[in-house]
Structure 1
């Protein structure tokens, strides 16, 4: 499958190296968040890579809800539970990192899973700055340039059918929302799943942002410029 090279499986345990995680973020998701850089002191495995790994291991269900409890690092060894309606992925340190609630029919079709994963992670990884910055500007707030904190909280997908495997993702601006309360905000990015011109499902990505400040255009332009420079430096 698409993501097989981005994680390591040993019996019922899964690990991720920094190289695998960074390559997935940058090459598959187009995500240049410095948290996924090889030398980052706050390094963590992309949540989208955890999502992709779960689908590769368990298949895609018609209803799936992922909740991210803790950040996974390259030192974490995740234990894969037996197939069930509520998957709980703990580390060998007994800490909970991810839960997946799944229901409805299931598909292990590799093409469907690869297309679903690649479409979703490209959308998710590139939400900053193209979607998140305009949302924040509407609320008159911005992330703190000195310590940006955007936490991937949860995501859900509802698929209506499995027979159409050429899946694409379409951003749903109308259902997307940003609820801001002082220095903290909750973001819901909504999307539709399209195949052969038909809507065959929908989903949402939920994030929490904290340390918000009043919006300053010059500062935001600087954040975007710095992000684009990281991308340019990586691409050479």
Structure 2
């Protein structure tokens, strides 16, 4: 298989390894929660006035939504604000949810909150590397890991190396246009399907594929242009 055909898979793997998202960023059931109600069941309960059901939805999806906001905004405080406001908005609009993919519906609300922050503050998001690494590794200041799992401690040299490369990669992602950035993060970091991304971003399926293709191509170009800045083991 050619390198060109392998590129999307390699980029996804590269992002996952560097950002440490094999666990915390993705939705998994909490320990002892293997028979928990699905999202739509909890939504119906919340629509009937059960606040506990909505709180379970928050606990189930807050880490994923925070990580999406963090990588779109590049700032931990702004990401926390956007996530909190998104869940408040979701609670107020819960009666508008009519089924389908709750996490896509929730991601659309997070997306709108992020866009509002960028639009009204009129500033380029600043990289918050410490927040990025803490959120990726399940540190004390990151949002709770629904699975309650923590990755094994890294050696100091490995942690420093990943710290440096993650900083550079986050800068690359933040240079993408906002629509491409969100699509790339949702697809290659958090594993959303094309259909879920289309629902979350309110665009056609073809637009999702086009944005993702352009984002991957741009990231590849930036990686190749500045490959000498990467440690040898991270070069393509």
Same fold judged by TM-score > 0.5?
A: no
> Which TM bucket (shorter chain)?
under 0.3
- Larger strand percent: 1
TM-score (norm 1): 0.26
- Larger helix percent: 2
Identify the structure with bigger relative contact order (alpha carbons < 8 Å, sequence gap 6+): 2
